[in-house]
C-alpha cells in the first residue's frame, strides 16, 4: 500500500508519500481500506516533535501519522466477525497512529458503521472533531436566550458549534479570519460574522450586539484572541475552553480575579475531563455520527489527496482551511 511516513521530526515537507507493507489485522481486529483520513492540528505538532506534556505521546520514528479513518472493511483477523467484510465503517485509532494510509487496522469493537447517506469524509470529520464537539456542547449547555460567541467559527469544531447554537435558538456571533471564512460563517446562518484579524474587532462585536452582551464564549483559539473574547463576556457569562490554535500563543489567560470581577464562570471541555468521561468516548462518537446522519449537523470538509499531506499540514498550520481537513487516498 501507499502511505505517508515521517522519518524525521520537522516541517511539513518531512511527510513522505511512499510504498510500505500492507498491515495485517491481528486477533479481534479488522482492516479498513481507507477512503478518508482525518487531519488534526495535533498531528502537525506531533510531526514537529515538540508535543511535550500532551496526552498523546510523540511517536517513535518512522511513523505513519493520523488517528481517524473511514472506509470499507476488507479483511478481519482471528476472532473477528467475518460478516464485517464489506461494511462501511469509521473509527478513531486511539493512541496508535497509522491513518494516513490506504489501509489501517483497528480493534473490531472500536469501529462504527457509517450511517446511511453519510459520506466517508463527513464520517471521519465526526469521529474525532465531532466527538469533541459533543463534549463541548455537554459542558456549554447552550440556551435559547444565549448570545454565543464562537472563535474560529469556520473551523472543524467551530462550524459544528455554530450549527448547534443556532439549533438551540441562541444568537450566534462567529469569529473568523478573512473574507472567504466570513462568507462560510454567514452561510452557516450565524447572525453576525466578524473578522478577528481586523483591528478593533471587539468593538465591532459590541456595536453589532447593541444593548445585548455575550453570555457564552466558546474558545478554541486561545492567546490574545481568547483573552479579548473573555473580556466581551457580560456579567454572569461563561466561557468554555477547548484548546488553542497557536502553540506560541498558549491557552487563554485568566485568573480567579477575572471570575470574581464579573461573576463569570470558566470550564475546560477537553483533556482530562473528556478522557475520564464516565462510559468513555464511544458514546460521544455515536452521538456525533447520529447527528450527522440525521442532518442535524453537517460538517464542513476540506479534502486533499493523500500524497499531498504536506500541503494539508501547511494549510492547517497557516489557518488557510475551513472545516475539517481530510486526506483522500
- pLDDT at residue 277 in the model: 76
3-state DSSP assignment of residue 70 = strand
CB-count exposure of residue 275 (10 Å: 0-12, 13-18, 19+):
exposed
- Cell reading at 114: 457509517
* pLDDT range class, residue 58, cuts 50, 70, 90: confident
Which residue, among 198, 188, 200, 184, has the nearest Cα to 162 in the 3D structure? Answer: 188
Over residues 73-81, the mean pLDDT reads 97
Over residues 167-193, the pLDDT tens digits come to 999 999 999 999 999 999 999 999 999
pTM of the full structure: 0.92
- pLDDT at residue 69 in the model: 98
CA distances to 64, 96, 99, 210, 257 from 31, rounded to whole Å, are 16, 14, 12, 55, 52
Which residue, among 111, 11, 4, has the nearest Cα to 327 in the 3D structure? Answer: 4
What is the chain's alpha carbon radius of gyration, rounded to the nearest angstrom? 20
Q: Is residue 327 scored above 60 in pLDDT?
A: yes
- pLDDT at residue 246 in the model: 65
Q: 279: Cβ–Cβ under 8 A, 6 or more apart, which residues? A: none
Over residues 216-226, the mean pLDDT reads 93
Contact 240, 139 (CB under 8 A): yes
Over residues 10-28, the mean pLDDT reads 97
Over residues 263-286, the pLDDT tens digits come to 999 999 987 777 777 777 899 999
What percentage of the chain exceeds 90 in pLDDT? 83
What's the distance, Cα to Cα, between the start and end of the chain in Å?
10
* Pairs from 41-46 (Cβ < 8 Å, separation ≥ 24): 41/243, 41/245, 41/316, 43/67, 43/313, 44/12, 44/313, 44/316, 44/317, 45/247
Cα–Cα distance, 314 to 248 (Å, whole number):
16
Amino acid at each position: 500500500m501507499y502511505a505517508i511516513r515521517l522519518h524525521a521530526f520537522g516541517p511539513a515537507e518531512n511527510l513522505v508519500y511512499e510504498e510500505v507493507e500492507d498491515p495485517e489485522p491481528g486477533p479481534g481486529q479488522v482492516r479498513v481500506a481507507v477512503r478518508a483520513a482525518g487531519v488534526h492540528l495535533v498531528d502537525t505538532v506531533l510531526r514537529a516533535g515538540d508535543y511535550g506534556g500532551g496526552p498523546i505521546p510523540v511517536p517513535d520514528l518512522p511513523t505513519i501519522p493520523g488517528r481517524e479513518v473511514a472506509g470499507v472493511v476488507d479483511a478481519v483477523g482471528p476472532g473477528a466477525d467475518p460478516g464485517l467484510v464489506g461494511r462501511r465503517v469509521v473509527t478513531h485509532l486511539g493512541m496508535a497512529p497509522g491513518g494516513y494510509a490506504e489501509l489501517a487496522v483497528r480493534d473490531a469493537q472500536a469501529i462504527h458503521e457509517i450511517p446511511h447517506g453519510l459520506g466517508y469524509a463527513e464520517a471521519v470529520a465526526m469521529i474525532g472533531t465531532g466527538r469533541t464537539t459533543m463534549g463541548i456542547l455537554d459542558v456549554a449547555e447552550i440556551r435559547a436566550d444565549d448570545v454565543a460567541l464562537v472563535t474560529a467559527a469556520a473551523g472543524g469544531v467551530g462550524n459544528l458549534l455554530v450549527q448547534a447554537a443556532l439549533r438551540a435558538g441562541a444568537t450566534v456571533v462567529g469569529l473568523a479570519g478573512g473574507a472567504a471564512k466570513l462568507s462560510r460563517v454567514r452561510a452557516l446562518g450565524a447572525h453576525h460574522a466578524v473578522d478577528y484579524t481586523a483591528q478593533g474587532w471587539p468593538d465591532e462585536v459590541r456595536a453589532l450586539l447593541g444593548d445585548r452582551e455575550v453570555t457564552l464564549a466558546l474558545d478554541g483559539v486561545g492567546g490574545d484572541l481568547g483573552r479579548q473574547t473573555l473580556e466581551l463576556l457580560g456579567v454572569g457569562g461563561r466561557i468554555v475552553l477547548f484548546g488553542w490554535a497557536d502553540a506560541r500563543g498558549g491557552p487563554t489567560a485568566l485568573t480567579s480575579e477575572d471570575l470574581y470581577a464579573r461573576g463569570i464562570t470558566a470550564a475546560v471541555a477537553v483533556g482530562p475531563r473528556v478522557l475520564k468521561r464516565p462510559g468513555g468516548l464511544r458514546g460521544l462518537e455515536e452521538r456525533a455520527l447520529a447527528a450527522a446522519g440525521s442532518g442535524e449537523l453537517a460538517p464542513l470538509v476540506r479534502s486533499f489527496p493523500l500524497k499531498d499531506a504536506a500541503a494539508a499540514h501547511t494549510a492547517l498550520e497557516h489557518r488557510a482551511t475551513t472545516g475539517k481537513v481530510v486526506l483522500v487516498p
